Amino acid sequence: MDFKYVSKDLDDTLNLAENIESEKFPNMVICLDGELGSGKTVFVKGFAKALGIEDNITSPTFNIIKEYLNGEMPLYHMDVYRLDEVSEDLGIKDYYNKGGITIIEWSELIKNDLPEERLEIVFKIVDENTRVLLFKPYGRIYEELCESVL
């Protein structure tokens, strides 16, 4: 079952991320897709804030992976926009089982390297402030999370 959420502004997206964070669990994987400026990094900022991470969250476009280890749980923020293919050297798959939360921006680019169980969120721009977020849970735990939060 898929779910839909309409965000009317940045605060809506931040609050949604905080609500999803309240349902967090070890090895959680959230995949964020959508065009530039659609709100993916805003979502990560809200999630990180709810985890108690005080760092300035920016998209790790050139780093690919940023680790935030000073919150309630580790947060692994990835931006795979610049990857042509997933190199084993990056160890992306290793992050899925490190006991933290992995959030991947532009995940559709590495579809074959994603875990079977995950939460995919696609951001669609409606206008300057409004976004439609389409949720596709893979696995029972992600379905329950969506039912609880949305």
Per-residue pLDDT at 35:
94
pLDDT at 1 exceeding the cut of 90: no
Backbone angles phi, psi at 92, to 5 degrees: -55, -45
Q: The whole model's pTM is what?
A: 0.94
The closest alpha carbon to 125, from 137, 135, 134, belongs to 134
Average pLDDT, the chain: 93
Strand 101-105 and strand 28-34: the pairing is: parallel
> What percentage of the chain carries pLDDT values higher than 90?
85
CA distances from 34 to 93, 106, 132 (A): 22, 7, 10
Go through 100-121 and write b for each residue having 16 or more CB atoms within 10 A of its CB, e for each that does not: bbbbbbbbebbeebbeeebbbb
pLDDT at 146 exceeding the cut of 90: yes
Residue 95 token pair: 């992050």
Please name the amino acid found at residue 14: L
Report the Cα–Cα distance between both ends of the chain, in Å, rounded.
12
Class of domain 3-149: alpha beta
Q: Domain locations in the chain? A: 3-149
Distant-in-sequence, close-in-space partners of 87: CB < 8 Å, separation ≥ 6: none
pLDDT digits (tens, 9 = 90+) for 82-139: 776 555 667 889 999 999 999 999 999 999 899 999 999 999 999 999 999 999 999 9
